[in-house]
Structure 1
Amino acid sequence: MRSHLIVLFFLIFSLPSAAQQIIIKDTITNRAKDTVPTFENLYDISDGFKDISRFIRRDTSKRVQKKRSGISILPNINYNPSIGFQIGAKVVGGLYLGDRSHTAMSTFATAVSYTTRGIMVGYLSHDTYTKHNKWNIKGGAVIAKMVALDYGMGMGNTIPTDIPQEEVLNNPQRNRYVNQYTVYSLNERLYKQLLPGMFVGAGVFIELKRNIRTLGEHQETPLAVYSDLTGYNPNSYNNNGLMFNWQYMTRDNPNSAYKGIYADVVLRMSQTWMGSAQESFQLQTDFRKYWQLSTERPNHVLAFWHWGSYNVAGKLAYLDLPGTGRDTYSRIGRGYTAGYFKGNSFFYSELEYRFPLLRNQFLSGVVFANVQTADDRLGTKLFQQWQPAAGTGLRLLFNKATRTNLCIDYAFGRFGQRGLFLGLNEAF
């Protein structure tokens, strides 16, 4: 499998690069070094394929340049240790519903995919800003057959216990279980701008999980033990409720920000009157800060990310516990498989250094490090035990109109966890 990924990487990388050497000049490197790159002088994968096409046809005619579309239609190729190798089709796009000087870019994505672990997913997501950012509407819908790796609850610590069930749930040996289930999910949030960059809003979420089971033969599993201790149906349940939100946003681009801040605070309230199996309250926080390190090389950036989910009251179902890879796009915790650590409350932070390798921004690199912590049922508190990870990666500019990058990362953590992570757009 890894050999196929290596072939894929060199195929993607070498085609545009070869065309660049044969056909075009790097109009940026021929200019004075203190000149800021313009949009026309950026080079992405689409330019590479166009140059290859012209070279094959030996077309020396001058053609009128069309305005670059903000929509990318592409194979939905992905890989990480949690899902295996993914194939499918994906459409991502971005547009401005007002003048870009006072209106943020609106983005959308839709895809269908299948992975070598048997996961089938179809989704539609959007993040829409109206003119002058007066309103922000974000949300999406998902239908999926999921296969999720499971390593129990907590941080893998070895606190002794006389209760066999708690030993299985805490899983200090980091034994691997595989959970399978079907999920139907819908969520929508509506924000109103109060001050420039500041929004408040509310939303609704509906999550139906069905056909839940742990594959293989086991005397006890973390899923079954937790469900028994908390009174959840281990085979199916609903998690529905309302959300109240506060958001602050000054970042210049949602796909690959060069500067600014993004902050989002959400109170999720699972409520039985809306069909939820149990009532629970969870406070979620998402904070991202970007420092642009050079005006001459705008994609030279230092970025920070915090994501947290804190239990306020009640108990979540096992499959809804916050943890590694449990953010909206399953990007937190590169270096570990999704769900490797989890608890009633969870805290995560990451620092990433992004640097250009070519002045036309076609190729750039990153190095990153992250830490995460969670509580468990054996007395370990949040912030008491931390688990680190780190990695490095390459970025290929896929669509310069929306700053969409093809991201190839290799990350490693503890307990022998490591792997290749391939996908579109930055992790944050």
Structure 2
Amino acid sequence: MRILRFWLGLLGGLLLAAPGWAQAPDSRPPLPTKDLGDLVKSILPHFAHPRRAQATADSAAQAADSLAPAPPSKPPRKPKSTSLVVLPAIAYTLEARLLATLTASVSFQRSEANLSAISTTLTYTQNQQLILAVNGPLWTRNNHSLWLADYRLLHYPQQTFGLGSDSHMSDALGMDYDLLRVHQSYYHRVGRTGPLYAGVGYFLDTRWNIETVNGRGEQIDVISGYRPGVSGRSTSSGLVLSVLRDSRDNQLRPAPGESYLFLAVRTNLQVLGSGANYRFYQFDGRRYFRAGPRGNVLAFWLYGDFAQGSAAPYLDLPATGWDTYSVTGRGYIQGRFRGTSLVYGEAEYRFNLTPSRVLGGVVFANGQSARNPDTGFGRVAPAGGAGIRLALSKKVGTYLAVDYAVGLEGSQGVFFNLGDVF
């Protein structure tokens, strides 16, 4: 309970006592003036633009001929409000080992609205994991309403380490299962203006072909004294009521002075197909502060997920890296810590490395604690690291994030994301 009181005290201090919680955001930092495409053009101008190179040669020839008039200059094109980024990659991660992934991200902005960004990812890994995921926010004009979606279809062999954050790497068990996730929520603004929204949604998580084996290759159906959802199949199906306060114009690149607060209750019901009746409670709070005159940002994040009772399936319990965008717990393998409750906090300093903002960097530290139903909350497991940010689109400020992080017991890895992690 002391750890729970510590985290809740930190939440109160960060989100409620911080001055200017309802203040207007600072002036938005300028978008990058260059992106990855500009870097390619500057390094390989003739290869990147053979037609432009030929046009340059033709212009030189024309200049030698006084009878040839110079071609009229074209008016500058208006910047586009829609950006498409397609990013194939080969990488190595803790949970997947070698992987090949294809990510397509579409970002656009309706009139007087926040940025909408839909990301689709297809991944196949050395561990024979197959992942298809679609997620992101869709804002209507003038931010009157918001649609949030998180759809996933997975075949997902993985390791699990039992319940609580006192577990060790040597506790690893093998799990294999298939997953269909359909999370969708609709939010409508409370009042005529302002960033406060009330939402309702339907969440479905259904898994089948669940198998768990110990280090001797024997199938088991209990982990850390917990039985639901360890073998066979499991379904969580329920309604979600939530409150959202989001002052960010662009979730991929939050600005100083902006903030985010999310509170939700998910009620899973047998009448909707759930295996049992149980609830999840969740909070998510984020603040962004100006850190110096160059547009640098100091960001804070506090996240909590709580299961009520002991009927929720094991794989639906709160766990590292199983938030909506799979970004909690840099420094640890996905699912490294799991419990009937999970509390997580992170701080990150974001800075520019070039005047054009095409390249930036971050340093970060995080900590998490998971609850074992028999022993309570365990240790706070720390992690930290650093990373780079490469501008992929100067139109809307989309960045490729590449981070290296380390945690306890030699845990370490490289982590990728489109946009800021939180």
With normalisation by structure 1, the TM-score equals 0.80
Matched length: 370
After superposition, where does 1:34-53 map in structure 2 within 5 Å? 38-39=30-31, 42-52=33-43
Contact 1:408 1:423 in 2 (8 A): yes
Match for residue 117 of structure 2?
A: 107
CA distance in 2, matches of 1:79, 1:219: 26
Deviations 1:66-105 (A, max 9, x none): 5344111221555421222332322102111212xxx211
Give SS of 2:312's match: coil
Equivalent in 387, 399, 402 of residue 381 of structure 2: 387
After superposition, where does 1:230-245 map in structure 2 within 5 Å? 230-232=227-229, 234-245=231-242
Equivalent in 182, 189, 194 of residue 185 of structure 2: 189
Deviations 1:287-325 (A, max 9, x none): 11111224x533x10000111102334532111111211
Equivalent in 286, 294, 297 of residue 294 of structure 2: 297
Contact 1:183 1:207 in 2 (8 A): yes
Give SS of 2:222's match: helix
Give SS of 1:397's match: strand
Contact 1:78 1:421 in 2 (8 A): no
Cα 1:146/1:232, change in 2 over 3 Å: closer
After superposition, where does 1:31-180 map in structure 2 within 5 Å? 38-39=30-31, 42-52=33-43, 54-56=45-47, 57=50, 58-59=53-54, 60=56, 66=77, 67-68=79-80, 69-99=82-112, 103-156=113-166, 171-172=167-168, 174-180=170-176
1:95 maps to a residue whose letter is F
Contact 2:230 2:314 in 1 (8 A): no
Shift of 1:123: 2.1
Cα 1:231/1:313, change in 2 over 3 Å: closer
Cα 1:83/1:151, change in 2 over 3 Å: same
Match for residue 321 of structure 2?
A: 325
Match for residue 7 of structure 2?
A: none
Judge which range, 107-116 or 57-66, deviates more. Answer: 57-66
1:187 maps to a residue whose letter is H
Contact 1:271 1:279 in 2 (8 A): yes
Unpaired runs of 5+ residues, structure 1, are 1-35, 157-170
Judge which range, 83-92 or 353-362, deviates more. Answer: 83-92
Contact 2:99 2:124 in 1 (8 A): yes
Contact 2:137 2:146 in 1 (8 A): yes
Contact 1:145 1:182 in 2 (8 A): yes
2:391 maps to a residue whose letter is L
Cα 1:227/1:213, change in 2 over 3 Å: farther
Deviations 1:155-177 (A, max 9, x none): 12xxxxxxxxxxxxxx5563322
Equivalent in 271, 274, 277 of residue 273 of structure 1: 271
Give SS of 1:375's match: strand
Contact 1:331 1:427 in 2 (8 A): yes
- What percentage of residue pairs aligned between the two structures are identical? 28
1:408 and 2:402 matched = yes
Give SS of 1:335's match: coil
Give SS of 2:38's match: helix
Deviations 1:29-73 (A, max 9, x none): xxxxxxx9854x611112223445533333537776553441112
Cα 1:80/1:231, change in 2 over 3 Å: closer
Cα 1:79/1:407, change in 2 over 3 Å: farther
CA distance in 1, matches of 2:288, 2:162: 34
Match for residue 20 of structure 1?
A: none
Match for residue 8 of structure 2?
A: none
Match for residue 209 of structure 1?
A: 207
Cα 1:231/1:72, change in 2 over 3 Å: closer
Shift of 1:231: 4.5
Cα 1:78/1:92, change in 2 over 3 Å: farther
Shift of 1:180: 1.4
Shift of 1:402: 2.6
Cα 1:247/1:267, change in 2 over 3 Å: same
CA distance in 2, matches of 1:398, 1:275: 43
CA distance in 2, matches of 1:215, 1:42: 53
Give SS of 1:286's match: strand
Shift of 1:395: 1.1
1:122 maps to a residue whose letter is L
1:417 maps to a residue whose letter is S
Match for residue 66 of structure 2?
A: none
Deviations 1:301-351 (A, max 9, x none): 000011110233453211111121121121111111111111101100000
Shift of 1:219: 6.8
Contact 1:227 1:318 in 2 (8 A): no
Contact 1:279 1:314 in 2 (8 A): no
CA distance in 2, matches of 1:355, 1:126: 25
Contact 2:227 2:314 in 1 (8 A): no
1:255 maps to a residue whose letter is L
Contact 2:203 2:237 in 1 (8 A): yes
Unpaired runs of 5+ residues, structure 2, are 1-27, 60-72
2:205 maps to a residue whose letter is E
Contact 1:281 1:314 in 2 (8 A): no
Shift of 1:229: 4.2
CA distance in 2, matches of 1:63, 1:410: 45
Contact 2:210 2:230 in 1 (8 A): no
With normalisation by structure 2, the TM-score equals 0.81
Match for residue 369 of structure 2?
A: 373
